[in-house]
Structure 1
């Protein structure tokens, strides 16, 4: 069983450790956050919490049954009943259904707790695992584009029926 928790100030150390431990793994499929992200992590964490307090975004940590932080799921730019979904799961947790379950829970929260009607998401074409997570959760491909010079695919999902 996994849980999603809204990002809090006391998550900072665990999130930083998660991002450091998985930096190289994530960089294989998504643009690297860069050294400045890690050097100024406290400022970045505070900025995310401020965005969340304003209702602009919802940031979540994903915990497994043992309580370990194994992922992050974010809803960005909550506007007009829609948001963009972003997620990442630790290398040690990959292939165990955690991303699929976390995205399913994020969709449920988006509809029931945050009143959203649809979500969008993007992934690069060389990330079939992420494409499978989105497809399994009812996201439909919309169009291809370049993401930091890499071919990518945009997805959309209606949340009708979840609320």
Structure 2
């Protein structure tokens, strides 16, 4: 069974490998991170860890039995008892329920460890897999929006 861990500095090599290996796969359904993300990865990781230390975000990695990063499940913009949920799962691990498992685990952490009472999420209309994960994990559609210029739905889940 995979392990869900709060992001740490020692995850850097596996996290970078995960992002590089899945770049084209992710870009098919969400905006590409761009070359600068990879060129400045260490700097961005330090900034993310500082945001996490300040309580503004909670970045989680899904670690497989071999130590590889299989996914990310993050809480960003933590404030006033709520946060926005985002996640991505490696192509080689997709379709096995890992996203749903990770989202459920982070929802439990959000309520029990981080003291949050509500989570928000967004998914583009053409990302049926992500919308299905949100529906199966208790998120309800509460509106429509644009996500990087693409039609999307907004979701909410009380914890």
TM-score range, shorter chain: over 0.9
Would you say how many aligned residue pairs link Structure 1 and Structure 2? 159
SS at match of 2:4: strand
SS at match of 2:52: helix
Larger mean CA deviation between 39-48 and 60-69 belongs to: 60-69
Larger mean CA deviation between 56-65 and 70-79 belongs to: 56-65
Asked if structure 2 preserves the Cα contact closer than 8 Å seen for 1:2 and 1:65, the reply is yes
Following the alignment from structure 1 to structure 2, what is the Cα–Cα distance between the partners of residues 38 and 66? 23
- Alignment partner of 1:90 is 2:87: no
Mapping 1:111-150, distance limit 5 Å: 111-150=111-150
Give CA-to-partner distance per residue, 1:29-83, whole Å, 9 cap, x none: 1110000000000000000000001011000100234443100010001101100
SS at match of 2:132: helix
Asked if structure 2 preserves the Cα contact closer than 8 Å seen for 1:144 and 1:153, the reply is yes
Q: CA deviation at 1:85?
A: 0.3
Structure 2, unmatched stretches of 5+, are: none
Following the alignment from structure 1 to structure 2, what is the Cα–Cα distance between the partners of residues 146 and 74? 20
SS at match of 2:141: strand
Mapping 1:1-163, distance limit 5 Å: 1-159=1-159
Aligned-residue Cα RMSD (Å) equals 0.9
4+ residue segments displaced more than 2 Å: 64-68
- TM-score of the aligned structures, taking structure 1 as reference length: 0.95
Asked if structure 2 preserves the Cα contact closer than 8 Å seen for 1:84 and 1:120, the reply is yes
